[in-house]
Structure 1
Amino acid sequence: MPYFIYVAIGAFFGAIARFWIGKLFNHKTFPYGTLIVNLVGAFLLGLITGMGPHKYIKIMFGTGFMGAFTTFSTFKVEHLELHFKRQWKKLSTYVILTYGVGLCLAWIGFVIGS
């Protein structure tokens, strides 16, 4: 089966998971849904990478699922929205959690996967 089929299958499920997490957790006051998917995604991608799975598994879950599940562009837009609303404390919290905790979770996932 061609690689893009594996990517498409993973992306289908990743997009659905992201949609529902966003519906359940995003609030007008803080982008919890995006934060959750990006932190969980960082951990899971670290885990998958650390495990060194078969190339088809890595393509389906690492590229497909995680590519559709996590979102860097939405993070940037929400970052700008908080900036323009001058919500500095929320903006700082969001950026620190996304980058700092995300990097730590990716590392933890990688170590566990190894």
Structure 2
Amino acid sequence: MAAVAGLGATVGALGRYGMTRLVQSYHGNRWPLATLLINWLGCLLLGFLTGWQATNLTAILLGTGVLGGFTTYSTFSHEVVMLADQRRYGAMTLYLLLSVVGGLILAAGGSWLGWLFR
């Protein structure tokens, strides 16, 4: 099972890198939009897997592996600290609220969608 999770994590990390580059090519990197969108998508999809009641193998491959490699709490935390270091407190607060509240809403919505597809 560790190899399954590792394979998924590789795919997820490559997806995160690609999406980060894509978003930054259009938006730049002054505000952490790429990480926000990546983590929102991860919340939605993990919620879907939960509501769908994926099999153990699917949950390990997609949930732990792909989405674990795709989403990033450490980058989110680093970006919050960087915004604080730059004294951009409004941007920092907005980023925190959008990340946490938006992530919870999307996880709940994804769970509901997964339940519908069950």
Shorter-chain-normalised TM-score: which range?
Answer: over 0.9
Q: Distance in 2 between matches of 1:107 and 1:28?
A: 29
The correspondence of residues 4-23 of structure 1 with structure 2, limited to 5 A, is 4-23=2-21
TM-score, normalising length from structure 1? 0.94
Please name the residue that 1:36 is paired with.
Answer: 37
Q: Distance in 2 between matches of 1:73 and 1:12?
A: 17
- The reply to whether residue 96 of structure 1 matches residue 94 of structure 2 is no
Q: CA deviation at 1:12?
A: 1.3
Q: Distance in 1 between matches of 2:102 and 2:92?
A: 15
Secondary structure of 1:37's partner?
helix
Q: Distance in 2 between matches of 1:113 and 1:24?
A: 28
Q: Deviations over 1:28-54 (max 9, x none)?
A: 310111111100000000001111111
Unmatched runs of 5 consecutive residues or more in structure 2: none
The correspondence of residues 1-114 of structure 1 with structure 2, limited to 5 A, is 3-26=1-24, 27-114=28-115
Secondary structure of 1:30's partner?
coil
Q: CA deviation at 1:88?
A: 1.5
Q: Distance in 1 between matches of 2:89 and 2:45?
A: 30
Q: Which amino acid is the alignment partner of residue 65 of structure 1? A: V
The more displaced of 73-82 and 28-37 is 28-37
Q: Percent of counterpart pairs with the same letter?
A: 34
Unmatched runs of 5 consecutive residues or more in structure 1: none
Secondary structure of 1:53's partner?
coil
The more displaced of 3-12 and 35-44 is 3-12
Number of matched pairs:
112
The more displaced of 35-44 and 84-93 is 84-93
Q: Distance in 1 between matches of 2:17 and 2:2?
A: 22
TM-score, normalising length from structure 2? 0.91
